[in-house]
Amino acid sequence: MTEPLLRRLQARGERITVGALPWVAPVYSAMPQVAEVIVLPFARGALQLQARRAMARQIKGRFDKAYVLPNSLKSALLPALAGIAQRIGYLGEMRLGLLTHRLSNPKNKPPMVAFYSALSGEDCLEADRPRLHIADPEISQALAALGLQRGAYHVFAPGAEYGPAKRWPAAHFSELAARLALPVVLLGSAKDAALCDAIAAPVNAARPGQSINMAGKTSLGQALCALAATKSIVSNDSGLMHVAAAFGVPQVALFGSSSPLHTPPLNDKAVVLWLKTDASYQPPLDCAPCFQRECPLGHTRCLNDISAERVLQVLSQV
């Protein structure tokens, strides 16, 4: 979601270095406008003040501006400790003194691309859609290592770190995989491995090798290459959904407790399935979007009632 901002900054002559945590750094390596990626040696969610001071000493004097993208206190510490003259970001988490150029958080939060792009001081444009690019030789090398052939598989991304209210049922994924002609590659983190096993097992019992669980078995770079070369992807509202959109691959995105009005896959080849806006679905989903980790009503109708048959129909169209 930050890629259009970086593209805009480069277009006006800024040389871009991105400081990113290890779990996301490879995504920025797939953005041609990024000149350098510094992998930050911080644990996710941890303050680690001493480590930030040490990193600040390493980068001191290198940069004129810092665009602070997350709205957290700790993310604003490094640019301030490094003495970067202009530090641009949104107000929040008591970081008033850490930023030199401060934007107020909008009362009605816009889509995330527009939210980040506003840090450039310019209005977001309709053309501001995230794009990623990986060179063909790198993709070919990764596919060879994974034993995959370009366009000869589908990808499923069944995880959603936020919680089960964003996950299409495993049994539905299994039913869909069993009905596809091409094999299915399951992608995700190590946390998703058990879920992916539950999806793959019944499929492979009937059709050995039809479902390949690679959750936690690839690097993020390899996963990006697998996404770039897939025939299509079916996913929940997740990070991999946005990555697939940025590669422009055909995709079906399944929404339940969250809203595609806020974080849609910005891809002309994407179809969103959300029962909230399906006039034929009865009774209406007055509870969606609830933005909860688990269904507060205990039924998760918003996802359980999206059938594998419906996804199969849409997939054949995209």
What pLDDT was estimated at residue 77? 95
Q: What is the mean pLDDT of residues 163-190?
A: 96
With 90 as the cut, is the pLDDT of residue 142 above it? Answer: yes
Domain map (residue ranges) of the chain: 3-120, 137-317
Q: Do the two domains 3-120 and 137-317 of this chain adopt the same fold?
A: yes
Query: How confident is the model over 285-305, as a mean pLDDT?
Result: 94
Provide mean pLDDT across the span 281-302.
94
Three-class SS of 79-95? HHHCCCCEEEEECCCCC
- Superfamily in which the 3-120 domain is placed by CATH: Glycogen Phosphorylase B; (3.40.50.2000)
Q: What is the pLDDT of residue 246?
A: 96
* Predicted pLDDT of residue 126: 61
Half-sphere exposure of 307 (CA within 13 A, CB side): 5
Q: What is the pLDDT of residue 279?
A: 92
pLDDT at 5: 96
- Residues for the chain: how many in total? 318
123 — pLDDT class (breaks 50, 70, 90): confident
Determine what percent of the chain is predicted with pLDDT higher than 70: 99
Q: How far apart are CA 9 and CA 308, in angstroms?
A: 42
Residue bearing tokens 């080849």? 269
Q: Write out the two tokens for 245.
A: 């959109």
What CATH number does the domain located at 137-317 have? 3.40.50.2000
235 touches 156 (CB < 8 A) = yes
| Per-residue model confidence (pLDDT) at position 282 | 94
| Residue ranges with strand state E in the chain | 16-20, 34-39, 65-67, 86-90, 101-103, 154-157, 184-186, 211-213, 232-236, 251-254, 270-273
Mean pLDDT of the region 110-129 = 84
Is residue 124 predicted with pLDDT exceeding 80?
no
* 254 token code pair: 């399944």
Closest CA relative to residue 237, chosen from 211, 269, 273: 273
pLDDT class of 171 with cuts at 50, 70, 90: very high
Can you give the pLDDT at residue 32?
A: 95
Over range 202-211, report the average pLDDT: 98
pLDDT in tens, 183-197: 999 999 999 999 999
Residue 219's pLDDT band, with cuts at 50, 70 and 90, is: very high
Q: Where does the pLDDT of residue 127 fall: very low under 50, low under 70, confident under 90, or very high at 90 and above?
A: low
* Among 106, 22, 100, CA closest to 63: 100
**pLDDT tens digits for 244-278?**
999 999 999 999 999 998 889 999 999 999 999 99
Cβ–Cβ under 8 Å, residues 209 and 176 = no
DSSP 198-227: HHHHHHHHHSTTSEEE-TTTS-HHHHHHHH
What is residue 128's predicted lDDT score, i.e. its pLDDT? 83
